[in-house]
Amino acid sequence: MENLRVLIVGGTGYIGKRLVKASLAQGYQTFVLHRPEIGVDIEKVQLLFSFKEKGAKLVSGSFNDHQSLVNAVKLVDVVICAISGVHVRSHQILLQLKLVDAIKEAGNVKRFLPSEFGTDPARMAHALEPGRITFDDKMVVRKAIQEAGIPFTYISANCFAGYFLGGLCQIGHIIPSTDSVVIYGDGNEKGIYVDEYDIAMYTIKSIDDPRTLNKTVYIRPPENILSQREVVQIWEKLIGKELQKTSISAEQFLSSMEGQPYEQQVGMIHYYHVCFEGCLANFEIGEEGVEACELYPDIKYTTVEEYMKRYV
Ligand SMILES: NC(=O)c1ccc[n+]([C@@H]2O[C@H](COP(=O)([O-])OP(=O)(O)OC[C@H]3O[C@@H](n4cnc5c(N)ncnc54)[C@H](OP(=O)(O)O)[C@@H]3O)[C@@H](O)[C@H]2O)c1
C-alpha cells in the first residue's frame, strides 16, 4: 500500500534504528515513538532528530500514559515494537502488554509486529532456566495479541550477526580472535546468521504483505545456515590463518554458568540452545510460517563472509 503509516516503538535501539531506516527507505510514512523518559539521553535525542531530518515524524508517548500510546497508534496502520529484550542490556518484553491494550482500544491497526527478532519462542517450550524467560515472556505477549484479535506478524530473525559472527559463536565475544576459538560441542550444529539491516529490510517488506498476515516470518538466508566450524573456517580463510581450537562439552558449558550473574546465565542458555542443540535450523517451517528469502528474492542479503570482512 502506498503511503503506509508505520510506527516504530523502540526506534533508538539496536534493531529499532535499522527498522526506522528501512521503513524510510521503503518510502513509508514513518513515525517514531519519543518517550519523555529518555530525558537528557543526548545520544537518543540526537538519533531521534536525525530520523526527523530524514523524514520521520516523532510522536511523543509513554508506557506510563495509556492515552498517549492510544493517540500514537491511532496515527498509523502498522506498529512495530523493537523494545529491549536482552538481559545483558535491558529486558522489557512484558511492557508490550500496555501497547497491546492501546492497540486494542485504538482499533485501527492493521498489523502489529511485537519485539521478537530472534528464536521462535513457540518452539522453545523445552528451553532451560533461566534463559527461557525470554521465550516465555514473548509467548505471553503473543497470547495477549491473539486474544485481543490484533492482526500480527512475528519475525523470527535467528542470530543477529553482530553478536554471533563477531564472536565466532562464543558468548561474551563480539570481535573475532585471530588466535583461538572454543568450539561448542562438536561444532557441527547449524545456526542461522543474519545481517541486522537485512533483518530490518525483510521485516519492513512483510508488513504490507497478505502472505505474512498472522504468520511467523522466518529469516533463513540459505548461504548463512552454517555450523560454528563453518563460520570459523570462513574467518580463517579471511585472515589466512588457522585458529587454535579447544572444545567444551554441553555439560561443561552448562556447569560453567554457576556463579555467573543472572543476565549472563540467560544469554548462555540462548547460546546453548543455538549452538549445542541447533534449535534454529532443526525444524521444517510449517503452515504457521513463511520464509523471508523465498518471499522477497529481490533483497540481496549479506552473506556471512561479506559480513565478516569488516573485522579483518
Ligand atoms: N536474534 C538475536 O540474536 C537477538 C539479539 C539481541 C536482541 N534480540 C531481540 O531483539 C529485540 C530488540 O532488542 P535490542 O537489543 O534491539 O533492544 P535494545 O537496543 O536493548 O533496546 C531497544 C529499545 O527498547 C526501548 N526501551 C528500553 N527500556 C525501555 C523502557 N523501560 N520502557 C520503554 N522502552 C524501553 C528503548 O527505546 P526508546 O528509548 O527509543 O523508546 C530502546 O532503545 C528483543 O526482542 C530482543 O530479544 C535478538
Q: What is the pLDDT of residues 135-188, one digit of tens each?
A: 999 999 999 999 999 999 999 999 999 999 999 999 999 999 999 999 999 999
Query: At residue 58, does pLDDT exceed 90?
Result: yes
- Residue among 8, 62, 83 to mutate when testing ligand 1 (max atoms within 8 A of CB): 83
| Range of weakest confidence among 21-25, 84-88, 291-295 | 84-88
Q: What is the pLDDT of residues 140-153, one digit of tens each?
A: 999 999 999 999 99
How many whole angstroms separate alpha carbon 138 and alpha carbon 94?
8
Confidence of residue 89 (pLDDT cuts 50, 70, 90): confident
How many whole angstroms separate alpha carbon 305 and alpha carbon 173?
18
Active site residues: 138
Please report the beta strands in 87-186, taking only residues with DSSP state E, as ranges in sequence order.
90-91, 111-113, 153-156, 159-160, 180-184
How many whole angstroms separate alpha carbon 136 and alpha carbon 237?
39
Query: What rounded mean pLDDT belongs to the chain?
Result: 97
Q: What is the dihedral of CA 105, 109, 111, 116, to 10 degrees?
A: -50
Nearest CA, atom 6, ligand 1:
86
Nearest CA, atom 48, ligand 1:
118
Query: At residue 1, does pLDDT exceed 80?
Result: no
Q: How far is the CA of 128 from the centre of ligand 1 (A)?
A: 22
Identify the pLDDT of residue 86: 85
Q: How far is the CA of 242 from the centre of ligand 1 (A)?
A: 36
Ligand 1 cavity residues, CB under 6 Å: 10-16, 33, 35, 38, 44, 63, 82-86, 89-90, 92, 95, 115-118, 134, 157, 159-160, 163
Q: How far is the CA of 134 from the centre of ligand 1 (A)?
A: 12
Index of the ligand 1 atom closest to the CA of residue 134:
47
